[in-house]
Amino acid sequence: MYGCDFLEFGCTTLEGFFFEINKYDYRKAMKGEMIELENINHSFEIGTKKHKRKVPVLHDIHLKVEQGEILSIMGRSGTGKSTLLHLISGYIKPQQGKIMINDTEVTHFTEGEWADFRLQHLGFVFQNFQLIPSMTAMQNAELPLILHGVPEAERKNKVTDMMKRLDIEKYMEHYPSELSGGQQQRVSIARALMLNPSIILADEPTGSLDSENEQSLLHFIKQLNEEHGITFLIITHDEQVAKVGHRTLLMKDGRIAEGGHAI
């Protein structure tokens, strides 16, 4: 059991033994940093040529997400949460600081390097699902496989399996406009999982869901984390959603206000 025994822990009581086992499991899951941001600062430039002005959005961000962790980041609208996620996914380049993902420094990646890296390591889930309206559920979900050069027969099998898992196989030929919010989010999750990402970045993933679909998504996140070890970074302004995280950080005015302890 757990590859360890009573003696290995050197504990003298049964209670102590279970305490040590919990710690042992925790250590096993935490094998190092999956995402590490060092001293990230970011401003947007707005206005026309003559009246350009810098709007600082992120200040001195230091952040570590451990492998196998679900980290929730909470904060009011406009505090820079999505900007932070766009930096971690390479859609915005940091003006200062360093970003490491899965032991790779990605700070100075080119567009092409980012595109490959995203496909291999990252899955995305968004509030507005970001499905392509002119494509069916099946076609939307298989997009990462096409980009990765997976042959058609294998693509069909993989998408069908995933859709069965998510209980949406009946809707494969439906277009996004013919699906409910909950069904659209499942299609977007199928797409996110298609290439077995080690990290899923979720920006307000339950923001457009009713409470039943919200609960089922949170349950699925836990399951993916526990059974497949997927690391999650979840942005939300909803405390109930944040609770799915092992840890919750609070963002305020472009800074991480809470120092990384469980709240």
Which residues are near Mg ion by CB under 5 A?
81-82
Minimum distance from residue 111 beta carbon to ligand ADP (Å): 17
* Assigned token pair, 192: 């996110």
Contacts of 144 (CB under 8 A, 6+ apart): 119, 191, 194, 195
When asked if residue 89 is in the footprint of ligand ADP (CB under 6 A), the reply is no
Helix (H, G, I), strand (E, B) or coil at 47: coil
Name the nearest CA neighbour of 214 among 250, 248, 194, 244.
Answer: 244
Minimum distance from residue 127 beta carbon to ligand ADP (Å): 10
Minimum distance from residue 253 beta carbon to ligand ADP (Å): 10
When asked if residue 80 is in the footprint of ligand ADP (CB under 6 A), the reply is yes
Say if residues 106 and 40 touch (Cβ distance below 8 Å). Answer: no
Helix (H, G, I), strand (E, B) or coil at 201: strand
The Cα–Cα gap between 113 and 31 comes to 25
* Assigned token pair, 231: 């690391």
Contacts of 237 (CB under 8 A, 6+ apart): 74, 75, 76, 77, 204
Contacts of 212 (CB under 8 A, 6+ apart): 182
When asked if residue 44 is in the footprint of ligand ADP (CB under 6 A), the reply is yes
Q: In this structure, are strands 33-46 and 247-252 parallel, antiparallel, or unpaired?
A: unpaired
Q: Which of 46, 132, 146, 257 binds ligand ADP (CB under 6 A)?
A: 46
Minimum distance from residue 83 beta carbon to ligand ADP (Å): 3
When asked if residue 132 is in the footprint of ligand ADP (CB under 6 A), the reply is no
The Cα–Cα gap between 179 and 102 comes to 35
257 contact, one of ligand ADP, Mg ion, none, CB 5-8 Å limit per kind: none
The Cα–Cα gap between 177 and 194 comes to 22
Minimum distance from residue 59 beta carbon to ligand ADP (Å): 12
- Which C-beta is closer to ligand ADP: that of 143 or that of 250? 250
When asked if residue 77 is in the footprint of ligand ADP (CB under 6 A), the reply is yes
Say if residues 58 and 233 touch (Cβ distance below 8 Å). Answer: no
- Which C-beta is closer to ligand ADP: that of 171 or that of 232? 232
Q: Which of 67, 72, 82, 183 binds ligand ADP (CB under 6 A)?
A: 82
Q: Which of 16, 18, 26, 55 binds ligand ADP (CB under 6 A)?
A: 55
- Which C-beta is closer to ligand ADP: that of 146 or that of 257? 257
Q: Which of 67, 72, 79, 231 binds ligand ADP (CB under 6 A)?
A: 79
Minimum distance from residue 46 beta carbon to ligand ADP (Å): 5
Q: Which residues in this chain contact ligand ADP in the complex, by CB under 6 A?
A: 44, 46, 55, 57, 75, 77-83
